Amino acid sequence: MHKPSSSTGTHATSLTDGTRTLSYADLARETGAVAVNLSGRDAHPGDVVAIMMTRSIDAVVLLLAAIRAGLCPCVFEPKLSAEEVSARLVETRARFLVHDKSVG
């Protein structure tokens, strides 16, 4: 994970979407919590986790958390058909699929 330079500090903005803003410290805390949650769901380093989420801070946090947990994130476009998602899940051998409310 990118560490902020000493001139910016951990309270500098790392991500923003215009509504929500995370500092580097917030980003580290959130990715750590999500990484622990993934590991607690029997995800092991090297496992593929498929991510189907709209572009958002939550999607970035999940992507970074998966990497932090040693997982292999595979991002799927949320608008894929069910058949295409199924085929990609088989092809990537994903053990997990994480999605937001936009998928459904």
CATH code, domain carrying 18: 3.40.50.980
82 assigned to some structural domain:
yes
State pLDDT tens for residues 16-51.
Answer: 988 899 999 999 999 999 999 999 999 999 999 999
Domain with 40, as residue range(s), is: 13-99
- Tell me, what's the pLDDT at 10? 77
Alpha-carbon torsion (8, 11, 14, 20), positive or negative? negative
72 assigned to some structural domain:
yes
3 assigned to some structural domain:
no
5 assigned to some structural domain:
no
β-bridge partners, 12: none
69 assigned to some structural domain:
yes
41 assigned to some structural domain:
yes
| Predicted confidence (pLDDT) at residue 3 exceeds the cutoff of 90 | no
28 assigned to some structural domain:
yes
The number of folded domains in the chain is: 1
